[in-house]
Amino acid sequence: MPVEVDKKTGLINLYNDQISYVIQILDHRYPVHRYFGTVLTDMTTLPPLPTGNHAFAVDTQPDFPYSVTSLPLEYSTIGSGDYRQPGYLITSPAGQLLPILTATGITVTEKPLNLTQLPPTVAKGTAVTTLIIHLADPVTGLNLDLNYTIFEHTALILRSTTVINHGTASLTLNAINSLQLDLADDQYDALTFNGTHAHEANPTLAPLRPGIQCQRSLRGTSGPQQQPFMGLARPQATEFSGEVLGTALVWSGNFQAAVEVDQYAHSRLTLGLEPTTFQWQLTPGTSFQSPEAILTWSMDGFNGLSQVFHDFGNQLQPSLTPDPIAINTWESDFFDVDATKVRQLIDQATDLGLEMVVVDDGWFVNRHGENGQLGDWQVDSVKFPQGLRPLADQAHQQGLKFGLWLEPEMVTTNSQLYRDHPDWALHYQQRAPITARHQLVLDLSQPAVQEHLLTTIIELIETNQLDYLKWDMNRHLTQVGNDLLPGNQQGELYYRYVTGLYRLLTKLRAHFPALIIENCSAGGGRLDFGMLAYTNQTWLSDLTDPVDRAKIENGFSYLFPPSCFSTHVSASPNGQNGRVTPLQTRLNLASIGNLGFELALENLTPAEQQRVIAQVNQSKRWRSAFNDARFYRLTDWRDQPDYQAWLLVTRDQQQALCFYTRSLSSAVKVSTQLPLHYLADQRHYLVNGHSYAGHGLNQVGLTILPAKQDFESQLIWLQATD
């Protein structure tokens, strides 16, 4: 069991063959952070903790010569002399903050936490060890557990917090973080991701400075604006080398990630629920569990960090079986979809070797535009006189799967559902409802709403023999209130909404284990590790132009494996930005991830049809080997290169795919040497009929011929010959 405990010093080394996380129960009182990094076998080398009084600090005591003002505490609050960002804020019935809690013991187990309301984070059979440090407040009877689950073969620890009220009076949680990490210095750059619709996952690196740097969401979801993640990298770190650490929240709601540099140039990183939209009444005998936070470390730069996140994401997903190659109706028909068009599309898809037809928005009653009706989910009998089942039957008879778009969390005021149950929508009492995209949000905190949606979706799937759902969410939350909870519990709704969503998805997956669910929120607006646990793939962005889409995929690749990317070929000129790009470039990019199509197939020329067939067949040959391949970025976005390159390497290093795309071509035709870095040095690889040593390809590079036109791309297959 990879936990070493020194009872004399209070030192605890949580370790595997790659990392160590060292905690000290200082004077049998407070857990303090001592070390996080490469595996440590000798804890006696740790430097001493600072002692003595400091200006403007609470006094030290003879039996405890440390000032909490400067201690690297594992979990802390304000009011006891620690003036930094708190890990938690809990108030007593008198409205006063509870102090820093003291340690009462530890528990070590080889099991992960069994969190019934939150995403399952450890796949069955995965070897882990969980350390629980028990803290308590004897005055109120509050118990607080700090949970650490370390993966045996991965540089990854899951952090979370459990609070239990063993007292006789209610307590109020005003803030609770899943992770607090105190670091000895401030020599880091903070890596974060920001964006908006059709411009997701843009990386930013900013040096730490005195004070607080913060990322958060107030939208009710993780959102494209900010990702529930923060990384800290040494200034010299690159894609290929250097020390980096990262943390992400397994959560799909409001969050806050913050790093504070104090007056002593110490850094404190916190990650958890966003406090201004969260409050929880902890009544006697009840408990509360924070979402789990992923904590990783690497000396191999940002690519090394990504490998840990990718491995975690792959074991988190419901299935790693490659998803079928789909054609979706949206960009060809938008809302103007009907039975005749879908029948023709099924035949066209069969001819091209595609494997699934998906009917997107517009299939249900009164849906001819964004202001159409949501919530009743009844098939439009004009567009589909015989319903959807004959189309699903046709697809199945021709060897294809059949799927449908749905936006279950939304309702419009013109729907029968809203007329019958206006109280099922999030709302403020005595206030006019606020719509966005002409719609309201159903209150998923209510069990009745969850059961209604589950029944509705099950009936849709069974009636129409659906193989796939595109689960969309096209607005963020407003007026987060309801009539059910008392006033002092309205602050619980943001949290209860997300756990209600998880509960609904859990039940749906249990009912249909083979169902393919695509996560969509106006693109990648809710791509996070929470949703990854319930969905097979994610529509990354509504922007399908391959030039901009490659940048979006590059950003998301820092955290998420390509196995969850839904990547479709769309028409040219592109419908969002008007850019004209070669078909082969669109095909090459869409082949990284789950290949699909989003265009009018009848507009393809015979030559283009043959090119599509060739790419589809090639993708079918590759996908089983590359679905869980290692993914590496070969260019650094900070250098602003005019090209972008990725490398996918199978786990056995027998095969590799190199994706390369250049923006604008040049009249000066010069080849580019692209070092691949991650092949097996000792092997030889066949590239376009020629054999090259892996060491040479890694160090000298693959020769990329100059582009003949703008936005040209290449997808190069490498096969080991020994």
Look at residues 181, 216, 205 and name the one whose alpha carbon lies nearest to residue 32: 181
CA distance 26 to 65: 11
Interior angle at CA 324, CA 320 and CA 325, nearest 5: 130
Catalytic residue among 182, 186, 300, 542: 542
Look at residues 507, 436, 535 and name the one whose alpha carbon lies nearest to residue 476: 436
Q: What is the DSSP letter of 44?
A: G
Task: Give kind and range of the element (H or E) at residue 485.
Answer: none
Look at residues 141, 157, 178 and name the one whose alpha carbon lies nearest to residue 12: 157
Residues 6+ apart with CB under 8 A from 6: 12, 43
Look at residues 518, 618, 596 and name the one whose alpha carbon lies nearest to residue 349: 596
Catalytic residue among 323, 472, 545, 628: 472
CA distance 637 to 303: 13
628 included as an active-site residue: no
Task: Please compute Rg for the chain using Cα positions.
Answer: 27
Residue with tokens 């089942």: 389
CA distance 281 to 85: 22
Task: Give kind and range of the element (H or E) at residue 544.
Answer: none
Task: Give kind and range of the element (H or E) at residue 431.
Answer: none
Residues 6+ apart with CB under 8 A from 461: 469, 512, 515
662: left (phi over 0), alpha (psi -120 to 50) or beta: beta
Is residue 446 within 8 Å of 500, Cβ to Cβ?
yes
Look at residues 138, 178, 163, 177 and name the one whose alpha carbon lies nearest to residue 281: 163
636 included as an active-site residue: no
Crossing angle of the two packed helices 606-626 and 583-590, in degrees rounded to 10: 20
Convert 533-552 to b/e letters by CB count within 10 Å (16 or more is b).
Answer: bbbbbbbbbbbbbbbbbbbb
Look at residues 118, 199, 196, 189 and name the one whose alpha carbon lies nearest to residue 158: 118
DSSP string across 546-566: HHHHHHHHHHHTTTS-GGGEE
Burial category of 472 from C-beta neighbours within 10 Å (exposed 0-12, middle 13-18, buried 19 and up): buried
CA distance 572 to 662: 17
CA distance 213 to 9: 34
H runs (alpha helix) in 512-582 = 529-532, 546-556
Cα 196–chain centre separation: 16
Crossing angle of the two packed helices 389-397 and 339-352, in degrees rounded to 10: 10
Residues designated catalytic: 472, 542
